[in-house]
Structure formats: structure tokens, C-alpha cells
A = this chain, B = another copy of it.
Amino acid sequence: MTTVETPTVTVAESPFLQAIVQQIRANDSYGTYRHWADELLLKPYILTKAEKREISVDGEVNLITQSRIMAFFRAVAYCIEQETGMLSQVVIDLSHEGFGWVLIFSGRLILVSKTLRDAQRFGFDSLEKLSAEGEKLVAKGIDLARQYPTICDL
């Protein structure tokens, strides 16, 4: 029933999904995920509406969710860098109530600017949506970096 079992996009086909996988594996110092398939690593990103509702937004965003959010936006930054050659930084300002800002910037230019709400429930309907959302942010970031290269060099 869920779209996870029958994705219309595979990790192999999506450079953005590959970039997330790469981020997760890069942080896997103890080799916990060494034998895990890429799809399995991305599974926690896929949440149905019902699953989201079950996650409380009262408490703090737990560390696992925080690192999931970080891997997502680091993957966005990586893809923009690959295309433009411009180094970028990811900054996440998350309040204890799951509300916050994510910025990806290069020099003085903000390539990605996102507000987060209910970050405890960070997730996507399907692997396809995850990929599409990432690619959208990447495309916009590349566009801005190409339009204003001088601001990136400041």
C-alpha cells in the first residue's frame, strides 16, 4: 500500500538520493550501516500522514531526527557544489519546539532558505517526493549561484 515498496524512482536513478545515502554513510563511523541497502537507509525519511500524526511535536527534536534533517540539507549543499563548484555551508537553527531555520549559503549569498515546522515529523510521502523536494532545492540553489556569483565570492 505504501509507496516505499513500489517507488517510481530508485536511488540509482536519483543523484540527490545518492547524495543523502553518501551523507549517511560518511557519518557511519562504526560501520553500522555497512551491509544495509541504500533504500533501507532512506526508509526513515518516508512517513505516511498517519505515521507523522503519531509523532509528538511537544518535545525536543531527537538527535536521530536532527541528523536526518542535517543529512538531507547537506545532500542539497553537496549537489549544488557539484554543479557550481561553489563551497557552501549548512546552518540549522532549531528551537526546542521543532520550529526553525535552515540556511545553505556560499559567501554572502543564501542558496537555500527554509523554515522548519514540526521538525519532529520531518519526512516525505514517498521516495519520489523526497527526491523531488531535494532536486527542487538544488535547482533553485544552482540558479541563484549562477545568477549572483559575485555575492558567493564576498
Contact = CB atoms under 8 A, between A and B. Distances in A.
A78 interface: no
Nearest to A110: B108
Could you say how many copies of this chain the assembly holds? 2
Contact of A93 (B91, B107, B109, B113): B91
Interface SS of A by simple majority? strand
B103 A144 contact: no
Contacts of A103: 91, 103, 105
Nearest to A150: B148
What class of interface size applies to chain A in its complex with B? Answer: 10 to 19
A154 B154 CA distance: 18
Contact of A108 (B89, B91, B92, B113): B113
A41 interface: no
Contact of A101 (B89, B107, B110): B89
Contacts of A151: 109, 148, 151
Contacts of A144: 108, 154
Q: Which of A101, A108, A113, A151: most chain B Cβ within 10 A?
A: A108
